[in-house]
Amino acid sequence: MFELIPAIDVLDGNVVRLQRGDYEAVTVYGTDPVGTARSFLDSGAPIVHVVDLEGARSGSADARLRQALGAAGVRFQTGGGLRTAADVAAAIADGAERAVVGTTALWDSDELARMVDAAGPAALVVAVDVAGGRARGAGWLDEGRPLDEVLDELVGVGVERILVTSIQRDGMMQGPDLELLESSVGSGLAVIASGGVGDLHDLGEIAAAGAAGVIVGRAIYERRFTVSEAVAAVS
């Protein structure tokens, strides 16, 4: 089943969105991440995507956020600051259904294999952030690695699900990168798309390209459409 997954990015306790991952380009949309998550689930979303932005920047995730979500019965996947297999195991123990990992996973295949073991393949999502055909890490500032090389490596260590973000389209609402999406789907991995969604038509194109789901953030917060409308559009 195709998943419509609303994004909740959290910084300083607020629900925010960044443009192209820039911490200097922050828009605050709310002050209650748990309440926002519950409202999205009540509107029909099967799960929410929660990112600890401070954890992503510092490398140390905030367990209190995860625990608050878990205690509230929220179905969520979470990323930001999960760098080791122990971090992944802790996120799952705190109530996350999936742990989302990025930079370390792309540059340390041994640790990635340990993460797969710690969470189980179904509960691990590897975030692959792409620009110019290369998977980037380190705050998107490095030269990265060829995307096809990275995808082959992920398959080789038992990863089943990836989150593919088009860096240039992230937070811009100018449409998805369908070429990137189709090439990623061709790897045989279950692909969650992220970046560029601006209207309901974009959601249909992403589903038609073979993705397993889509992360939607700014378009919901800017009222381009509601979560209920989005869920109906991809059902």
Classify the phi-psi angles of 173: left when phi > 0, otherwise alpha if psi is within -120 to 50, otherwise beta.
left
Return the pLDDT at 60.
Answer: 87
Asked if pLDDT for residue 133 goes beyond 60, the answer is yes
How would residue 216 be classed by pLDDT, with cut points 50, 70 and 90? Answer: very high
- Count of Cβ atoms closer than 10 Å to residue 154 Cβ: 23
Q: Which residues are catalytic?
A: 9, 129
Portion of the chain with pLDDT greater than 90, in percent: 75
Determine the structural domain holding residue 107 and report its residue range. Answer: 3-234
Asked if pLDDT for residue 170 goes beyond 70, the answer is no
Return the pLDDT at 68.
Answer: 97
Q: Which residues contact 231 (CB under 8 A, 6 or more apart)?
A: 4, 43, 44, 45
How would residue 22 be classed by pLDDT, with cut points 50, 70 and 90? Answer: confident
- Domain total of the chain: 1
Instruction: Give the 3-state secondary structure of the chain.
Output: CCEEEEEEEEECCEEEEEECCEEEEEEEEECCHHHHHHHHHHCCCCCEEEEEHHHHHHCCCCHHHHHHHHHCCCCEEEECCCCCHHHHHHHHHCCCCEEEECHHHHHCHHHHHHHHHHHCHHHEEEEEEEECCEEECHHHCCCCEEHHHHHHHHHHCCCCEEEEEEHHHCCCCCCCCHHHHHHHHCCCCEEEEECCCCCHHHHHHHHHCCCCEEEECHHHHCCCCCHHHHHHHHC
Q: Which residue has the higher pLDDT, 134 or 36?
A: 36
Q: What's the N-to-C CA distance of the chain in angstroms? A: 8
- Count of Cβ atoms closer than 10 Å to residue 205 Cβ: 16
Between strands 3-11 and 14-19, the pairing is antiparallel
Asked if pLDDT for residue 184 goes beyond 90, the answer is yes
Asked if pLDDT for residue 157 goes beyond 90, the answer is yes
Mean pLDDT over each residue of the chain, to the nearest integer: 91
Give the domain CATH number at 193: 3.20.20.70
| Matching residue, tokens 């509601």 | 226
| Matching residue, tokens 């390209």 | 209
d(CA 132, CA 143) in angstroms, rounded, equals 10
